[in-house]
Amino acid sequence: MSQTTRNVGIVYPGLKPPEKACNDRKCPWHGNVSVRGSLFIGKVVKAKLHSTAVVEKEYLVWIRKFKRYERRRSKIHVHNPPCINAKEGDTVLISETRPLSKSISFVILGILQQKGD
């Protein structure tokens, strides 16, 4: 648990370290989780639980028979650190981490676009 902002090792346009600090051990900036693996952009569809959010991501799958892409969606449970505190409707950058709980192994790195922007 340190109050200094760590270097998460990811450079992405629009991604900045959070201005607030937090005491969350599962925060990628102030805690001790390391981010590695896949990186997604998604939209927060639910942020009601304490420091947890549900993020929906959209992806394309090529269908050979019709020679077209099909749009698919999936929802992922992610950790929402208190210093970021993403709200419903925000577009967020999420990254894979070690399993943080039974159903969570992704964490929000930052808000790329706030709702309504």
Site of interaction with Zn ion (CB under 5 A): 22, 27, 29-30, 81, 83
One-letter amino acid of 36: R
Contact 13, 20 (CB under 8 A): no
Q: How many CB atoms lie within 10 A of CB 53?
A: 27
Residue 2 CB, shortest distance to Zn ion, in Å, is 10
Smaller CB distance to Zn ion: residue 54 or 84?
Answer: 84
Smaller CB distance to Zn ion: residue 32 or 114?
Answer: 32
Smaller CB distance to Zn ion: residue 54 or 83?
Answer: 83
Q: How many CB atoms lie within 10 A of CB 80?
A: 28
Residue 23 CB, shortest distance to Zn ion, in Å, is 8
- Give dist(CA 57, CA 77) in Å, integer: 11
Residue 39 CB, shortest distance to Zn ion, in Å, is 18
